Amino acid sequence: MKKQFSSSWWYIPVVTAFTLGTLSCSDKEDKKNDNGDIIPDKNNAALTLPEGFGALIVADSVGEARHLAVNKNGDVLVKLNKPKDGKGILILSDKDGDGKAESKTGFGNYGGTGITLKGNYLYASSNTSVFRYALDENELPENTNTPDTIVHGLIDRRQHNSKSITLDDNNNLYVNIGAYSNACQERDRTKDSPGMYPCTILDSAGGIWKFRANAMKQSYGEGARYATGLRNVVGLDWNKEDNTLYVMQHGRDNLHDLFPDLYDAQASADLPAETLYKIEEGDDAGWPYIYYDQNQGKKILSPEYGGDGQKEPEEGKGKNAIDPLVAFPAHMAPNGLLFYTGSMFPEKYKNGAFVAFHGSWNRAPEEQEGFMVAFVPFKGGKPAGEWEVFAKGFAGVDPVLSPGDAKHRPCGLAQGPDGSLYVSDDAGGTIYRIVYNGK
């Protein structure tokens, strides 16, 4: 033992060589260029992007990064699905201006999804509550141990329990409460179990609830159901251009498993659409009575409620449901929605919608799809063209046969003060920053 120790000084030259080698390898160029632009990683963080765009990794392996927000100083605040070392919210700071976070601190010993900045406050959600933290002069939360409880006691039955949040400009807070069910069957996802009518889950879930952003300890009694018939919304955003709420719904699963005579495995992999809705107060998107078939371009009565894959909505069963603005392919799991208001990206992107797709799991035996960020151009509050893939390559494998194989899964989106687009990943825990350097 002793002998080994005394001779272990030979590590020194090896370590020195290693350090020198590493230094000579380090991406010295990953700094601002002469224009002060952030320089992307050489391989664009392994992403494929449109011409002129680049990407860099701000931080990686931070934990299951759900949604995120970027403050005026460029600090990135990340909500973790589960706390890591007792910290459910991370603060990532770039001290030297190269776009990479050198400092990582955290607080808030609870898991969850929602996080957003508004005025002088940070708002973050657990799976039952929404908390508020006042910001200090550095734009960072000051009362990290004693946040205000704005909302509490929301239903969490594990399935679809993310409480995503967004605020309008009038001190209103919008919270998604996902349905703890696939299609409101008496026994969830169980073959031959009938659909409940009416669907009582809608009393406390399956919609968007509205609360005051500055009142304490609200629950169902103090809030209002703002929109219903939404199975599960994880991505939502308040559009400042037309002062309206927009949401991305996760469509239902298991059509073939539950109704093999009506839907073959292929149909089940392709149906129904993942849908973007513009939401006015009181809207009903029709779940569980209907789903949207993007191939037929219309709403279809759910098989649990007498549908056969062709029948249209009936009175009291989704007849008055709103239509989606955009219908995406099935099961891709839209977890983040962001209307881009920055001026870094080209004109085409202004006021358009970015959607982070987490990637599918229930398309077996087909390949899984998604694992990318899409873009929908908007003009005057309406889609102004087809949706397109904006950033892909997150999964790191192609094809993805099972979602567990994906190295990274896009989940949240945020815009930085300079107009950069940030993407969080809750599989590998990577925080990406996408910039435009084309001129």
Partner 1 sequence: MKNLRYLKVLTIVFALMVSACGEKDKKEKTDPVTPAATVKKAAPEIEETAYPEGKKLYGQYCATCHQRNGSGVPNLNPPLRNTDYVTGNTSRLIRIILKGSDEGLEVDGQTYANTMPAHDFLDDTQVAELLAYIRTAFGNTAGPVTAEEVRTVRHEILK
Residues numbered 184-243 forming contacts with partner 1, rule: CB under 8 A: 187-192
Tell me the HSE value of 280 on the side-chain side, using a 13 A CA sphere: 4
Q: Is there binding between residue 405 and partner 1 (CB under 8 A)?
A: yes
- Distance, CA of 318 to CA of 314 (rounded, Å): 6
The residue range among 41-49, 130-138, 317-325, 414-422 that interacts with partner 1, by the rule CB under 8 A, is 41-49
- Distance, CA of 370 to CA of 362 (rounded, Å): 12
Tokens linked to 56: 């860099």
Least spacing, CB of residue 376 vs ligand HEC, in Å: 30
Residues numbered 92-121 forming contacts with ligand HEC, rule: CB under 6 A: none
Q: For partner 1, which residue of 71, 116, 126, 161 counts as binding (CB under 8 A)?
A: 161
Picked from ligand HEC, partner 1, none, the partner binding residue 43 (CB below 5 to 8 A depending on kind) is: partner 1
- Distance, CA of 288 to CA of 198 (rounded, Å): 10
Write the Ramachandran bin of 152: left for phi over 0, alpha for psi from -120 to 50, otherwise beta: beta
Nearest alpha carbon to residue 352 among 301, 419, 285: 419
Q: Is there binding between residue 189 and ligand HEC (CB under 6 A)?
A: yes
- Distance, CA of 363 to CA of 278 (rounded, Å): 27
Would you tell me how many other CB atoms lie within 10 Å of the CB of residue 69?
23
Q: For ligand HEC, which residue of 60, 139, 148, 257 counts as binding (CB under 6 A)?
A: 257
- Distance, CA of 287 to CA of 78 (rounded, Å): 31
Q: Is there binding between residue 144 and partner 1 (CB under 8 A)?
A: no
Q: For partner 1, which residue of 104, 139, 407, 437 counts as binding (CB under 8 A)?
A: 407
Count of residues touching partner 1 (by CB under 8 A): 55
- Distance, CA of 192 to CA of 175 (rounded, Å): 33
Picked from ligand HEC, partner 1, none, the partner binding residue 401 (CB below 5 to 8 A depending on kind) is: partner 1
Least spacing, CB of residue 257 vs partner 1, in Å: 6
Assess contact for 157 and 136: CB atoms under 8 A. no
In the complex, the residues that contact partner 1 under the rule CB under 8 A are 10, 13-14, 16-18, 20-22, 24-25, 42-44, 46-49, 64, 81, 157-161, 181-182, 187-192, 253-254, 256-257, 260, 268, 361-362, 364-365, 393, 396-399, 401-405, 407, 427
In the complex, the residues that contact ligand HEC under the rule CB under 6 A are 189, 257
